[in-house]
Chain A
Amino acid sequence: MSQSGDKDAFAQLVQKYSPDAYRTAFMVLRSSVDAEDVVQEAFLTCYRKIVSFRMDSSFKTWLYRIVVNLCYDKLRKMNREAAAMNKWSSNLKIGEGNMDGVENQIDLKDVISGLKPEHRLVLTLYYGMDFSIQKVAQTLGVPVGTVKSRLNSARNLIRERLERGQEYAL
């Protein structure tokens, strides 16, 4: 039905997918204005191209792929990541300063926020949106091995931080 550009069907897709698409964009861009821009633009792109959309992949995957590409465009265009990294690195310094002997003060959210955007994207889609590895790879347009590699890096980092915290606690 939505292939014919039916507005009711598309309005349902907007209502169903826009909140999580927004969350995904926000996890990458860390800006509500930019995240909303990206999600609006993504739905606009889908709506314009819905007639040519092939049903051999799900709408959700298609939408997320557009969201991801727009996020990357945004990061490149506005060079926002550099500014954001400065902000997060200052947070990380505060976190490290408080880590002397107290495991539960490790703020893993800061660690995740300090990862590269492509790593955060993988974590968001895999853990936050329950995508399978294959689907994450399809959405990002990268090999499955790349997704696994990014996941493993994040896991190792978290594990390292947890174990460091335990050492301090002991």
Chain B
Amino acid sequence: MHCKAVRLLFNDLLDNTLHAGEQHQVSEHLKTCDSCRNEFLRMERADNILRGVVRDMVSSIDVPGTLGLRIEKRLFGEQRRKRTLAESLGLIIRKPAIAAAIIFIVTTAGILSFYNHFSLTGRQSDMVMQSPSPNSNMDFENSAVSEAGREAQTAAVPLTGAAADDSSEKQAELNNERASDTQKSIVKKPAIEEAPLTIAQVPRDLENTQDSNGKQAVTGVIPLGTGAAGPAMQRGTLEEAAAEVGFNPAIPSYLPGDVELVEVSWLSGTVHQHYRVDQLSFTVSQSLAGATEINLQEEDPEAKLVWINGENGTLRETSFVTDGDIVGGSSTLRWQQGEYFYTITGELPEEEIMKIAASLK
């Protein structure tokens, strides 16, 4: 293979898109041609710098801490409105028994309210004085329940008030929802549902109106905001990384030559260990595999299939050696082991990257 033809393939070599035969030919040529090897190393350097700059730009973008919360609010808020409409029309039309039950409850509540207004006026005003919530619907409900139920709701009201302190926006939305949805305010609910609600609970709560109970409302909380914030790339020690991401990063017990760990960084739950000696560098990345199954073959169908500690992985190799010395090139190994997803990428030949991967503990 002539120099001119080889150099035309350098970009493909960097992209890991050469066929095995071509890759072998280029590697063989680079072993013997200093000029091409130097040219490739210059290109590879530019590529590495470009990668570093882009990654730095991407990781330095501050993601709003409440982005996930706002997305969920918009998503489920929209669906909630749809469901409420569907329920208010569909349930009544399709299930006459429910319509009859609602009419019965409305009628009963009205009668009791009328009775309480004239016979329990003094007691009711005491209760309203104790309650920090001026919510008229709540007063209406209080008037419609039994003495025992009234005590339970009185206890529940301050909880609602506390929620308003913590998240006035959410509570305001909740109150507006209650005020606008008269059907819902009329249907009696267990007192436990008056406990502080999150935005995430609201759609669940309404979605389950048909068979709502206290347990469903409380256990349906999504831990919002805990993972939605996207902090910029952070750097520190392995211990600090472990504390941030919630797992102990695996450390390779085998390292080629005098390679040393030069930097630990983490971003969005992924820990990167950067190793280097002279011009040789590689990165070990680890993250929790999460709920979504990663299909490595699908993501990179042309990568070579390999086995690491009994697990299937994919390897992209562009490494080459001269007389046993590592000259340049890079490899990317990706695999999932247990609950973790690993990537090792850097200027390493296949055998070295495989040894490092197998030694991760």
Contact = CB atoms under 8 A, between A and B. Distances in A.
Q: Is the interface of A mostly helix, strand, loop or mixed?
A: helix
Contacts, number: 144
A59 interface: yes
B215 to A, nearest CB: 16
Contacts of B68: 14-15, 18
A89 interface: no
Interface in A7-38: 7-16, 18-20, 22-24, 26-27, 32, 36
B268 A19 contact: yes
Interface stretch (B84-92, B296-304, B318-326): B296-304
A46 B342 CA distance: 28
Given A15-B228, A159-B43, A10 B75 contact: yes
Given A20-B268, A58-B298, A112-B57, A32 B64 contact: yes
B228 A14 contact: yes
Interface string B224-265: 101111100000000000000000000000000000000000
A73 interface: no
Contacts of A151: 11, 15
A128 B54 contact: yes
B53 A23 contact: no
Interface in A103-145: 108-109, 112-113, 123-124, 127-130, 132-135, 144
Interface residues of B, number: 57
A14 B68 CA distance: 6
B203 interface: yes
Interface in B292-334: 292, 294-295, 298-303
A11 B15 contact: no
Contacts of B291: 9, 12, 16
Interface string B1-39: 000000000011011110000000000000000000000
A139 B33 CA distance: 38
Contacts of A155: 11, 14, 43, 46-47, 50
Given A11-B222, A132-B299, A152 B11 contact: yes
A104 to B, nearest CB: 12
A154 interface: yes
A142 to B, nearest CB: 15
Given A27-B61, A36-B64, A124-B58, A19 B71 contact: no
Nearest to B14: A155
A169 interface: no
Contact of A23 (B63, B72, B74): B63
A19 B67 contact: yes
Contact of B46 (A43, A130, A144, A162): A162
A159 B75 contact: no
B102 to A, nearest CB: 26
Contacts of B268: 19-20
B50 A43 contact: no
A19 B229 contact: yes
B343 interface: yes
Nearest to B67: A18
A135 B15 CA distance: 12
B197 to A, nearest CB: 15
B75 A134 contact: no
A108 B42 CA distance: 17
A59 B301 CA distance: 17
Interface-central residue, A7, A15, A109, by most chain B CB under 10 Å: A15
B299 A44 contact: no
Contacts of B50: 108, 112, 123, 127, 154-155, 158
B57 A162 contact: no
Contacts of A13: 292
Given A112-B57, A132-B303, A154-B50, 5 more contacts: A10-B75, A23-B58, A59-B292, A112-B50, A158-B50
Interface of B: 11-12, 14-17, 42-43, 45-47, 49-51, 53-59, 61, 63-64, 67-68, 70-72, 74-76, 78-79, 200, 203-204, 222, 224, 226-230, 268, 290-292, 294-295, 298-303, 343
